[in-house]
Amino acid sequence: MSGTLPSSIREGRHYYRLRVYFEDTDAGGIVYHANYLGFAERARTEALRDLGVPHAELLGRFGLIFVVRRAKLDYLRPARLDDELLVTTEGVAMAAASLSLRQCFRRAGEDQPLAVVELRLACVRLADQKPARLPARWREAFSRLAGSAGGAPMAESGGGEETAAMRRNEGVE
């Protein structure tokens, strides 16, 4: 488990700090590739808490959970033992039962990204794993995360063949 440092939301982006421990690395002292997914999950969980809409409430009140539908990871430079990392989470798009996020990993104090994760999360009912619309409070909270284009609010997916096909695949249309 990595040591965590404070998280915050600034300028429409969520920032989560963590420390790389020995258990996060391979024999060469470089963060093992799969651990980025765990770090990204922790950052998303803290983003929900900081937005005021924690996972536990989504599950408890609505019986809903988020599942990763798609993940694309680009490894650009290695993170190393004892590095302090900053994970920035920003919204890209939101549909009725899903949202797309971009999470960028940087070494604290540096501008160059180490890795970038692009995710599509589906909101599903725990009971049957069927897609379900995001509750209004969660939609409002996610809309406060800026899109990757110039800090605009997260875009509502609304048209186009790709968006319609995604909704059909999610069982929303």
Q: What is the pLDDT of residues 101-147, one digit of tens each?
A: 999 999 999 999 999 999 999 999 999 999 999 999 999 999 998 75
Selected catalytic residue, list 26, 50, 74, 83: 26
Q: Give the span between the Cα atoms of 105 and 75, in whole angstroms.
A: 10
Please give the backbone phi and psi of residue 101, each rounded to the nearest 5 degrees, phi first: -130, 155
CA-wise closest residue to 15 among 37, 55, 42:
42
For residue 6, what pLDDT is reported? 82
For residue 69, what pLDDT is reported? 97
Percent with pLDDT over 70 in the chain:
82
Q: Does pTM top 0.95 for this prediction?
A: no
Q: Which of 3-7, 15-19, 68-72, 169-173 shows the lowest mean pLDDT across its residues? A: 169-173
Average of pLDDT values for 96-101?
A: 96
| CATH superfamily of domain region 3-169 | Hotdog Thioesterase (3.10.129.10)
Q: At which residue do the structure tokens 């998303």 appear?
A: 44
Q: How many residues are listed for the chain in this entry? A: 173
Task: List CB contacts of 126: < 8 A, sequence separation 6 or more.
Answer: 59, 63, 64, 65
For residue 146, what pLDDT is reported? 73
Helix or strand run (H / E) with residue 47: helix 35-51
Annotation marks residue 111 as catalytic:
no
Residue 145 is given by DSSP the state S
Helix or strand run (H / E) with residue 94: strand 84-94
Quick check: 27 and 33 in contact, CB under 8 A? no
